[in-house]
Structure 1
């Protein structure tokens, strides 16, 4: 059994300059915890694999391709590989979510 405590997980450097902690990484899957403070956002980018976002806390905006939606706690968002996407926090509170990369 492997248990990872968020507070002890290593921070992962990223081009978005946000708090990211790697929770899990294998050949098939990667799970990263991201925190966006008010006004922070991920840069528009593409990934070479399908990605899932699971909102843990707060509210944010998700843009995938030409679609834009408000999301909040306990929502799961699918982002297909190769499609530009971003998440941003336009709220007054913290926006926390898991990023699950499904490697091929």
Structure 2
């Protein structure tokens, strides 16, 4: 059995300016833990694969296509492949989200 302790994984800054931990990075799935400080945003972008956003702490908003929803811990948002999506932490709350890309876009043929 493998146990992954997210808080013990190294954290790095992403190109979009938020903190991230790589949890799993294998061909069939990529899981990252993004941590946004109060007021931080991940601007709208698209991915070639489906993305699941599982909010594990705090409150913020997630945009998928033309829709934006306020979300909090325990909720999951589905973003289909090729649809723009964005994240934003509320001004008064940090926002921790597991981002699951299925399959891992790094493993896709170019």
TM-score interval (norm. to shorter): over 0.9
TM-score by length of 1: 0.92
Counting only pairs closer than 5 Å after superposition, residues 1-104 of structure 1 correspond to structure 2 as 1-103=1-103
TM-score by length of 2: 0.87
- Kindly report the root-mean-square deviation, in angstroms, between the aligned alpha carbons of the 2 structures: 1.3
Task: Identify, as 1 or 2, the structure richer in strand.
Answer: 2
Decide whether aligned partners of structure 1 residues 27 and 54 sit closer, same or farther in structure 2, where only a CA change above 3 A counts.
same
Given that 1:59 and 1:91 are in contact with CA atoms closer than 8 Å, whether structure 2 keeps it comes out as: no
What is the CA-CA distance between 1:15 and the residue it aligns to? Answer: 1.6
Give the secondary-structure state (helix, strand or coil) at the position aligned to 2:41.
coil
Distance 1:59 1:94 in 2: 7
Distance 1:28 1:2 in 2: 17
Alignment coverage as a number of residue pairs: 104
